[in-house]
Structure 1
């Protein structure tokens, strides 16, 4: 469901020169800088599992979770930063690791329904993770209505992206024999190819400048889209510390049926529903939904299949304008499809990824200060975020109980007041909608309109089938 691009780097493959030590990449450390620059921002991402029955006891959970932490050493590591950012932050083992720091038990007030759960998710996720410890938490929520409980897995964005985050959640589930593999086990170090290293070193003075020029030329249109202001709207502006959270639900087979009927992808259908929802919100606010008003950030995975479990960020991005000027959902779907084809053909995501690869060669201090300055810049070009992550296809269990649903949470930052995290699980498709508390009191309207639009598109799709 999430778009992917191949390694875009022409000529020299800079990945061959990536340091092997546990250093945070430019994007990983950039999420740290976002928090450091804006006291209102918390960049934890979350998976919220709604589970049948009752949770295990605290003692049982701690014993079982301790066993499951062996899936990746990163879960025992915290971030170490150098003075004045002279070097990139590194992951180091926490010598005082204590699982109790990472477990919380909460209960909902009556009636313990979905509204109460969403309020709790917003409250939990707006809190920053403690940098003195590894950057993750498991929060158990007891006594949901209809004999259910929930577990929120909260991880700092510097540690995972959407794909690696949901893979980490799967590793916490039962059936260890079926859990996704961790990174390939460490094998014996191969003999050093000194001749190959020498040849690569000799090529660098030629290859790296050429790569830099090609990257910058391709990345300029992407950068201009992010920097140049779009038409003003209430979707973009300062954000506070508090959050709102709500959920929209759809059937994945239904979305696939829509895509098949109109010759589009699942991701196109999702973005068309998002466009219709934003149009409705703007109209309700008394704002004109013009064609230049909603440019949205859509992350694109560049993660190879054999790196699915690596805990880091491997994403690029595109910045399409969503067709909120149209009132017809089928027309919106066609326009979204055409625009996404155009963006993919332009190499926009590849250029952004190449830019991140190039950043690995720059002094870290320059990267840190660039992110800080960008975070303080009142950007007006991007008005929303929508990230679409493929989730587990099989049914999962937590401590012997079936996982009924999985919801996703994506943070907001840099004046983007609404983010939408779309996650599949089996035949389910869930939209986790995060908003700034003060500026998005109508967040529920956006979720409702997403559901209505998918229903309308499904009906129109079936109307096109000859009887």
Structure 2
């Protein structure tokens, strides 16, 4: 057995607290040709489950939450519980695929079985098919989730070498431990002060309401899904021209898109109106294939008050740099590490109370996950592109999962069905803004 960490179990508590929420995250592979026959695919998928034992484990909860939930082997594991076969109606276009993705992802995973599912989708236009890989957020975060998908593809990547050091290197550094012990009375208060100084502003940002907008509010059970596409080399070119990161360019495009949506809804895009949750991976490179959550977070305000994409990019860059310098992400991660030492019942009740609090400070989620650089294949067929799906909860009506694959950059946009009928506008404006910034970058280089 292996216990779920505080963040892993927190996602289960979040789902339990709201009947409208499903916290499955997803990767959608668009694949060339037709899928293999069902019997062949089932046989091959059964072999590939050996990449991680977690795929045949379910969650066991202790009575009254006296102990943390634990992963235990499902003695009645049956692949049939986890594989569905569907087809799109003619003409099998992207609108139909996005509608199907939303329907599949809004449905909760069955806690009586391991928390994942594969959905094969036939009859996509242009001689293509798709596979939706859906996993509960308590089992993976974005990085470990996309790594799991990659390992389920043909010729899975080799696992990183996790072997321990040799006997000489493994000897205990008693002198170092003694020095650390002697310094503990001095270092501990400094650590606590440093952590609190960074996490208090983060907590205040999450709790205090921002300027009201239609981006925050109650959500229903149904979802919408849309896709925006960009070229990763183009985004890198923009970043190089303006001295920013790829993530800055991505958030600038998201900023412009939300500004357009608010204006179309008749709302003024004023400063302080759009605070977003941006998860930050704290996963070591050697832990990419470990199935759990290793993320922290920042809560930047996006500069929707500006109408100029270049100015938006510069403002995003400055704000993200300030958030990184403040140590927000490290402080939040330190709190999660500290939570492992607390009784699980206290953590569970804290999450339940927090999830019932009608937060009004965060209006959206944007998570940027680096995906596979090499071309992938599923059952001998080329994976043409990969889309990501991020769930929404706690009055956050839109979530954007940005995923790279080779030279592609894809924005998978999730929205509450009733409150985001204009989700396509977000996608269109993201694509337009990247193109506008590219033209500005090239003009800037020539001047």
Alignment of 1:397-436 (within 5 A): 397-436=377-416
1:299 equivalent to 2:263? Answer no
Partner in structure 1 of residue 76 of structure 2:
96
- RMSD across aligned C-alpha pairs, in angstroms? 2.3
Cα separation, partners in 2 of 1:40 and 1:196, compared to 1, 3 Å: farther
Partner in structure 2 of residue 3 of structure 1:
none
Partner in structure 2 of residue 11 of structure 1:
none
Alignment of 1:193-204 (within 5 A): none
1:254 equivalent to 2:229? Answer no
Other structure's SS at 1:217 match: helix
Whether the aligned pair in 2 keeps the contact of 1:42 and 1:128 (CA below 8 Å) is yes
Partner in structure 2 of residue 329 of structure 1:
309
Whether the aligned pair in 1 keeps the contact of 2:160 and 2:286 (CA below 8 Å) is no
1:159 equivalent to 2:139? Answer yes
Question: Aligned match of 1:181 in 126, 136, 159?
Answer: 159
1:216 equivalent to 2:200? Answer no
Partner in structure 2 of residue 358 of structure 1:
338
How far off is 1:215 after superposition?
2.6
Question: Aligned match of 1:121 in 74, 88, 101?
Answer: 101
> 1:205-250 CA deviation, whole Å, 9 max, x = no partner?
9576764454333311111111111000000000000000000000
Tell me how far apart the structure 2 counterparts of residues 456 and 406 of structure 1 sit (CA, whole Å). 24
Tell me how far apart the structure 2 counterparts of residues 67 and 182 of structure 1 sit (CA, whole Å). 21
1:231 equivalent to 2:220? Answer no
1:346 equivalent to 2:326? Answer yes
Partner in structure 2 of residue 139 of structure 1:
119
Tell me how far apart the structure 2 counterparts of residues 213 and 288 of structure 1 sit (CA, whole Å). 39
How far off is 1:465 after superposition?
1.8
Whether the aligned pair in 2 keeps the contact of 1:183 and 1:310 (CA below 8 Å) is no
Question: Aligned match of 1:281 in 261, 274, 277?
Answer: 261
Cα separation, partners in 2 of 1:335 and 1:57, compared to 1, 3 Å: same
Tell me how far apart the structure 1 counterparts of residues 367 and 128 of structure 2 sit (CA, whole Å). 27
Cα separation, partners in 2 of 1:321 and 1:257, compared to 1, 3 Å: same
Whether the aligned pair in 2 keeps the contact of 1:393 and 1:425 (CA below 8 Å) is yes
Tell me how far apart the structure 1 counterparts of residues 226 and 297 of structure 2 sit (CA, whole Å). 24
Q: Which runs of 5+ in 1 are unaligned?
A: 1-20
Number of residue pairs matched? 445
Tell me how far apart the structure 2 counterparts of residues 192 and 75 of structure 1 sit (CA, whole Å). 35
Partner in structure 2 of residue 269 of structure 1:
249
Other structure's SS at 1:306 match: helix
Whether the aligned pair in 2 keeps the contact of 1:212 and 1:358 (CA below 8 Å) is no
Tell me how far apart the structure 1 counterparts of residues 67 and 161 of structure 2 sit (CA, whole Å). 26
Other structure's SS at 2:2 match: coil
Greater mean alpha carbon deviation, residues 351-360 or residues 38-47? 351-360
Question: Aligned match of 2:45 in 65, 70, 95?
Answer: 65
Question: Aligned match of 1:315 in 295, 299, 306?
Answer: 295
Other structure's SS at 2:351 match: helix
How far off is 1:181 after superposition?
1.2
Partner in structure 1 of residue 4 of structure 2:
24
Tell me how far apart the structure 1 counterparts of residues 373 and 158 of structure 2 sit (CA, whole Å). 12
Cα separation, partners in 2 of 1:183 and 1:309, compared to 1, 3 Å: farther
Tell me how far apart the structure 2 counterparts of residues 187 and 66 of structure 1 sit (CA, whole Å). 34
How far off is 1:143 after superposition?
1.0
Greater mean alpha carbon deviation, residues 200-209 or residues 179-188? 200-209
TM-score (norm 1): 0.91
Tell me how far apart the structure 1 counterparts of residues 237 and 165 of structure 2 sit (CA, whole Å). 45
TM-score (norm 2): 0.95
Whether the aligned pair in 2 keeps the contact of 1:183 and 1:309 (CA below 8 Å) is no
Tell me how far apart the structure 1 counterparts of residues 181 and 321 of structure 2 sit (CA, whole Å). 39
Cα separation, partners in 2 of 1:264 and 1:164, compared to 1, 3 Å: same
Question: Aligned match of 1:449 in 401, 426, 429?
Answer: 429
Other structure's SS at 2:213 match: coil
Whether the aligned pair in 2 keeps the contact of 1:417 and 1:436 (CA below 8 Å) is yes
Cα separation, partners in 2 of 1:432 and 1:358, compared to 1, 3 Å: same
Cα separation, partners in 2 of 1:57 and 1:409, compared to 1, 3 Å: same
Tell me how far apart the structure 2 counterparts of residues 337 and 104 of structure 1 sit (CA, whole Å). 43
